[in-house]
Structure 1
Amino acid sequence: MKILVVEDDNMIREGIIEYLREHEYQVFEAKDGKEALSKFSNEINLVILDIQIPFINGLEVLKEIRKTSKLPILILTAFSDEEYKIDAFTNLADGYIEKPFSLSVLKARIDALIKKYYGEIEKFEYKNVEINFTSYTAKVDGEDVEINAKELEVLKFLLNNEGRAMSRDKIIDNVWKETDEIPYDRVIDVYIKELRKKLGLDCIVTVRNVGYKLERR
Structure 2
Amino acid sequence: MKILVVEDDQMIREGISEYLQEFGYSVIEAGDGKEALEKFNNDMDLVILDIQIPYINGLDVLKEIRKKSELPILILTAFSDEEYKIDAFTNLADGYIEKPFSLPVLKVQIDSLIKKYSGTKEKFEYNNTEVNFTSYTAKLNGKDIDMNAKELEILKYLLENEGQALTRSQIIDNVWKETDEIPFDRVIDVYIKELRKKLELDCIVTIRNVGYKLERR
Q: Say yes or no: TM over 0.5.
A: yes
* TM-score normalised by L of structure 1: 0.63
| Paired position in structure 1 for 2:120 | 120
Give 1:72-111 correspondences, 5 Å limit: 73-77=73-77, 81-84=78-81, 86-91=82-87, 92=89, 94-96=95-97, 98=99, 109=109
C-alpha separation in 2, matches of 1:88 and 1:76:
10
Q: Would you identify which runs of 4 or more consecutive aligned residues in structure 1 move more than 6 Å?
A: 3-10, 62-65, 99-102, 104-108
Long gaps (5+) in structure 2: 38-44, 65-69
Q: Label 1:8 to 1:165 Cα distance change in 2 as closer, same or farther (>3 A).
A: closer
The one-letter amino acid paired with 1:169 is S
Matches of 2:150 and 2:139 in 1, distance apart? 16
- 2:144 pairs with 1:148: no
Alignment gaps of 5+ in structure 1: 37-44, 66-70
- Superposed CA RMSD in Å reads 4.5
C-alpha separation in 2, matches of 1:170 and 1:57: 43
Contact (CA 8 Å) 1:31, 1:53: kept in 2 or not?
no
- Give the CA deviation at 1:90: 4.3
- Cα distance in structure 1, aligned partners of 2:209 and 2:176: 22
- Pair member with larger Rg: 1
Give the aligned residue type for 1:96: I
Contact 2:124/2:131 (8 A) holds in 1: yes
Distance 1:188 1:116, change over 3 A: closer
Q: Which residue of 2 aligns with 1:215?
A: 215
> Size of the alignment, in residue pairs?
190
Q: Distance in 2 between matches of 1:170 and 1:9?
A: 41
**1:8–1:31 contact (8 Å) kept in structure 2:** no
Indicate how the Cα distance of structure 1 residues 136 and 105 shifts in structure 2: closer, same or farther if over 3 A, else same.
farther
**180-189 or 116-125: which moved more?**
116-125
CA gap 1:161/1:6 in 2 versus in 1, 3 angstroms: closer
Percent of residue pairs identical:
64
